[in-house]
């Protein structure tokens, strides 16, 4: 479903299929409410799906290929090395155990495994399991994936592909862009948005363009 189709559907539901030209309900307001509700509903849905062993729908997965790493200069801090990271175009969805990031892989097919920040010191102290070019590890901070084991001198010769579930933000979409959520999730969110819209609108059903939008 596209952004425009979604918003039009909610407006039709609120107005019982008879929107008037003087409807005081802007599409931008619908989009704002949708993102507001989605921030709660979407993580709950995907956490539940994954906990039950379900598969993430392909339409909900964003793929960014040919990602080149950058070097973050931290030389002003004694005892710290420059950090290597890649930046995603969208904010990943916040899920339990950071399962919003589905897969990170190099162009050579090497899987980059996930680690939490609090476990980095333990990993780096290992004799054989510490991060290196053949055993890359990433940690995530917001939209950045910090790659452990990749030297700054190798950032130009290693590219990455990242598969992840982006956070829902239809306010940034064009009208013809796909929303990228499963239909049942869209339905749950749309029901809540419809209720919000109805609470904002006053009066009874408006069947005429009389400069007064009445909705029960």
pLDDT at 207: 42
Say whether pTM exceeds 0.85: no
Interval 9-27 mean pLDDT = 76
Around Cβ 54, how many Cβ atoms within 10 Å?
A: 11
Q: Is the pLDDT of residue 60 over 90?
A: yes
Q: Is 45 left (phi over 0), alpha (psi -120 to 50) or beta?
A: alpha
pLDDT at 95: 96
Residue 156's pLDDT band (boundaries 50, 70, 90)?
Answer: confident
Q: How far apart are CA 123 and CA 120, in angstroms?
A: 5
Q: Is the pLDDT of residue 33 over 60?
A: yes
Domain ranges, ordered by start, for the chain:
3-55+169-200, 62-164
List, for residues 78-106, the tens digit of each pLDDT value.
445 668 999 999 999 999 999 999 999 99
């Amino acid at each position: 479903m596209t952004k425009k189709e979604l918003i039009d559907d909610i407006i039709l539901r609120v107005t019982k299929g008879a929107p008037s030209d003087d409807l005081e309900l802007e599409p931008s307001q619908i989009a704002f409410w949708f993102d507001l509700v989605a921030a709660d509903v979407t993580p709950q849905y995907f956490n539940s799906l994954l906990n039950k062993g379900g598969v993430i729908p392909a339409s909900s997965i964003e793929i960014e290929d040919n990602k080149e790493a950058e070097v973050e200069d931290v030389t002003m801090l004694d005892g710290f090395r420059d950090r290597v990271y890649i930046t995603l175009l969208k904010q990943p969805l916040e899920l339990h155990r950071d399962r919003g990031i589905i897969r990170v892989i190099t162009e050579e097919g090497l899987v980059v495994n996930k680690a939490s920040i609090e476990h980095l010191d333990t990993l780096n102290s290992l004799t054989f399991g510490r991060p290196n070019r053949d055993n890359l590890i990433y940690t995530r901070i917001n939209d950045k994936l910090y790659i452990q084991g990749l030297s700054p001198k190798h950032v130009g010769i290693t590219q990455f592909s990242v598969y992840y579930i982006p956070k829902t933000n239809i306010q940034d979409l064009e009208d013809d862009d796909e929303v990228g959520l499963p239909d049942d999730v869209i339905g749950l969110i749309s029901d809540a948005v419809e209720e919000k819209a109805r609470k904002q609108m006053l009066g009874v059903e408006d069947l005429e363009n009389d400069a007064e939008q009445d909705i029960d």
